[in-house]
Structure 1
Amino acid sequence: MKDLKYSRQREAILDNLKSRVDHPTADMLFQSLRKDDPKISLGTVYRNLGLLTEIGKIRKLSDINGIERYDYNTTDHYHFACKACSKLMDLPAATIVGLDNMFKHEDIGVVESHSLILYGYCKECYQKMLYIDSKKAV
């Protein structure tokens, strides 16, 4: 890692994040990491997540409830947040090329990156809602 002293725990956090698609919270990561390293502390996880976010190795997102989640993928991509179950997923959609430049304006400043989260209901929650609505109609 650039400009950082090697840390086995930091490497474990990065490896864990890299293997996931669920955009885990710090606590979710902590629970997962404890299986292999029972001595790791929640404070260590939080400190390293903060550091990794600060240097741009990972991205911090907020879910529908404002809970911080983490993403290993730092390239521009979009997310979908379910309003029912709070699931946060990568959207399999092409990014809008040049979006950062669309908002280039002297009064605003320079856009370096962006984050887009679409809110709605995931497939599973939407199916449950349809089922409940169909039962009400009977």
Structure 2
Amino acid sequence: MVQRRNTRQRQLVLDAVMQLDDHPTADEIYITVRQQDEHVSRGTVYRNLNLLAEEGRILDVKVPGGDRFDHRVDDHAHLVCRSCGEVCDVPDPNASDADARTADATGYAGVSHYTVFSGICPKCQEKGLGEQEA
């Protein structure tokens, strides 16, 4: 994990991820950052999101429809609604064990993984959305 100099723009991006506690998209983070500094470009936000994820300070969560970002970097999984795309955290107490077992079985080093479950969220269920997918 490479630690880079923390620029003002990178701090604005990190602050936005922390503030938007609902697994925001890069565009949602960009809008929030622009409210703080209208001179920050979309490219700067995207580049800093990637750098922060590389450093392990945030998670880049790959879900259908595009990447989402998470300020939690502890062992946990994600659950995405197949109807509306909402993403929530799910405890994953066995994550570290799975990485170690996989490394032992394969000889690979630095093994990591992320888990994304899918389902229909309670709000969409109430609206009758996604029933054919359930």
**Length-normalised TM-score, structure 2:** 0.83
Contact 1:83–1:121 (CA<8 Å) still a contact in 2?
A: yes
Structure 1 spans left out of the alignment, 5+ residues: 134-138
Structure 2 portions without partners, runs of 5+: none
Partner of 2:111: 112
Note the alpha carbon deviations across 1:60-98, whole angstroms, 9 max, x for none: 112222x0111111111011100000111112x352262
1:105 Cα deviation after fit: 4.3
> Which deviations, in whole Å up to 9, do the C-alpha atoms of 1:17-74 show, x marking residues without a partner?
1122211111110011111111111010011111111121111112222x01111111
Greater fraction helix: 2
What do you get for the CA RMSD once the two structures are aligned? 2.3
Identity of aligned residues (%): 33
Larger Rg: 1
Given the two structures, how large is their TM-score scaled by the length of structure 1? Answer: 0.81
The equivalent of 1:136 in structure 2 is none
Q: Report the number of matched residues.
A: 129
Tell whether 2:122 aligns with 1:123. yes
Alpha-carbon distance between aligned partners in 2 of 1:113 and 1:104, rounded to the nearest angstrom: 9
Q: 1:115 to 1:50 in 2, by over 3 A?
A: same
SS of equivalent to 1:103: helix
User: Match of 1:42?
Assistant: 42
Corresponding residue SS for 2:36: coil
Structure 1, 3-12 or 80-89: larger mean CA deviation: 3-12
d(CA) in 2 for partners of 1:62, 1:106: 25
Aligned ranges 1:43-58 → 2 under 5 Å: 43-58=43-58
